[in-house]
Structure 1
Amino acid sequence: MKKTVSVIGVPMDLGQGRRGVDMGPYAIRYASLKERIERLGLTVNDQGNINVPTAETHDIDNQKLKYLPEVTRVSEDLAAKVADVMADGHFPIILGGDHSIAIGSIAGVAQHVKKLGVIWFDAHGDMNTEDTTPSGNIHGMPLACCIGIGNETLVNIGGYAPKLKPENVVIVGARSIDPEERELIRAHNITCFTMHEIDKLGIAKVMEEAIRIASAGTDGIHLSLDLDSIDPDMAPGVGTPVLGGVTYREGHLAMEMLFQSDKVVSCDLVEVNPILDEQNKTARTAVDLVCSLLGESTM
């Protein structure tokens, strides 16, 4: 684990249908993110926020790719920022905002970690394209973009594609996948551990396999942690909650195992929506989980 953590906020709500997720970075910071990480003996450099346009000041030109020019610009800015902090030898934690920010996060990380694996903690597949999307919201497309599927502009953020090989991508916690997404996941042989597998095998076995797959032949793992992967009882403040998710304790064990693997090189925390939350509960859960990822333990 790097000794310095760089925090980058991305108050993005253009890729999502419900407003409020743009306040996620503020809520996570307010939940004592910096102070908690510093207690672990790590240095925290808060890089502030990437500038994100306000939805009301822009029109939607394409209902299948809502706010495409604006999401593209933010993704390019974020990719450059992430690449900069990694060049300094820092561990980037990117605070969303909706999950479309992962397009820029991964583009930046992959500039330094050429063979990158990804563990995608999410209730959803995020494997839609403009041809399959039921909503036109880009936060349902980032994983597809990162493996080189979908709109050419989004796929080529950072000037190259693909960023990921499907065989090194693992989805964990899925329980709401669109039919055409399911076909894309199967067609590209992406490993997907649904809640069925977590219930049947246990989170420890699932994470052992996830880490093995994401690290096979790679130089590091990016964790993309959507808070809707966690059951709504501990993470109610998300735009697309789905019952029956990863429990609080399962989430901690998963993060602890990732820390013990010594493979994680970067992380994004997404979809925290304070407007829908209960006393900042979801942001506090996010901070608890990322601290386990960074090595916090009982003993």
Structure 2
Amino acid sequence: METLNISMIGVPIDFGQMRRGVDMGPSAIRYAGAVERLEALGHEVVDEGDIYVPNAAKLEVHPKLRNLGAVVEACTKLAEQVATAVEHKKFPLVLGGDHSIAIGTLAGLAQHYKNLGVIWYDAHADMNTAETSPSGNIHGMPLAVAMELGHEKLTHIGGEQPKIDPKNLVIIGARSVDEGERELIKEKGIKVYSMHEIDRLGMAAVMEDALAYLRSREIDGLHLSLDLDGLDPMYTPGVGTPVPGGITYRESHLAMEMLQESNLLTSAEFVEVNPVLDTKNATANVAVGLMGSLLGESLV
């Protein structure tokens, strides 16, 4: 593949959910050799360091949106940095942190891509709002926010318009979806490949179909948002919301390889690595391995 100028941005936030430790995810991914792995593929990598994350206790408290103020502040800064990276023709590679950071990533990308495609590789749909969420955790809301559903302090990050068209969204690996999310998926006509489809059709067929669908939408960019809990927890023990029966290690590498071969990818983020819950940094190592496959590494 072509050599990329990669802008690596860490977001050490764990305020979008309740399990502490995922704020150390960016450090764990760096420790697992992310920069070295990508530089070995010929890419130019600039590690921009970490976005400043404020103390949640000093910011606004909302009864149904956990740590709203801290998430808004961090995602606003992230949106600005992602937009700047794209403006300078760089490939944004965002390291989480919990999945609430995708609010900022998508807001930044939307400033440059008017018909952005998104692959959401995750066990969860992440389409709740304050009204439908059983927990109030904002890491379960980024896709709803990107469709301009939810609290205006979240939806207005990076502008008051929707950041994605729901018809340009593909979810892969879903197996834990709340009732409100199911209704929204049907209402918006969102394309979802649950574990049922992956088991029945195979990952190769799923990715071929997903990429053909996104091409038919005439997208002008493609973002991958990969939650490590999309994989089965036997491969990624260090995640906060593990769901058994997930995607295998090899299926995930195949998906990344097929994404790389598509020549559609313009940005990516890897989230929910929690070293406190991990075993010998295994989950961060998987994340870095998947980055390698995504950005040009091959077996031969």
Contact 1:22 1:273 in 2 (8 A): yes
Q: Are residues 1:219 and 2:207 paired? A: no
Partner residue, 2:198: 198
Aligned pairs (5 A) from 1:282-293: 282-293=283-294
- Equivalenced residue count is 298
Contact 1:251 1:289 in 2 (8 A): yes
Structure 1 residues 46 and 59: alpha-carbon distance in aligned structure 2, compared to 1, 3 A threshold: closer
TM-superposed CA distance for 1:86, in Å, is 1.1
TM-superposed CA distance for 1:52, in Å, is 0.5
TM-superposed CA distance for 1:60, in Å, is 6.3
Partner residue, 1:265: 266
Aligned pairs (5 A) from 1:1-299: 1=2, 3-55=4-56, 57-58=57-58, 61-215=61-215, 216-299=217-300
CA distance in 1, matches of 2:14, 2:238: 14
CA distance in 2, matches of 1:58, 1:246: 39
CA distance in 1, matches of 2:198, 2:169: 17
Q: Which moved more, 1:149-158 or 1:284-293?
A: 149-158
CA distance in 1, matches of 2:294, 2:241: 24
Contact 1:119 1:214 in 2 (8 A): no
Contact 1:60 1:66 in 2 (8 A): no
TM-superposed CA distance for 1:58, in Å, is 3.3
Structure 1 residues 18 and 60: alpha-carbon distance in aligned structure 2, compared to 1, 3 A threshold: farther
The unaligned stretches of length 5 or more in structure 1 are none
Identity of matched residues, %? 57
TM-superposed CA distance for 1:5, in Å, is 0.7
State the TM-score, normalizing by the size of structure 2. Answer: 0.97
Amino acid across the alignment from 1:241:
P
CA distance in 2, matches of 1:3, 1:289: 17
Structure 1 residues 249 and 204: alpha-carbon distance in aligned structure 2, compared to 1, 3 A threshold: same
Report the RMSD for the aligned CA atoms in angstroms. Answer: 1.1
Amino acid across the alignment from 2:179:
P
CA distance in 1, matches of 2:22, 2:55: 12
**CA offsets per residue over residues 180-231 of structure 1, 9 Å max, x none?**
1111111111111100000001001111122222332111110000000011
CA distance in 2, matches of 1:157, 1:252: 33
Amino acid across the alignment from 2:180:
E
CA distance in 1, matches of 2:188, 2:32: 38
The unaligned stretches of length 5 or more in structure 2 are none
Contact 1:86 1:109 in 2 (8 A): yes
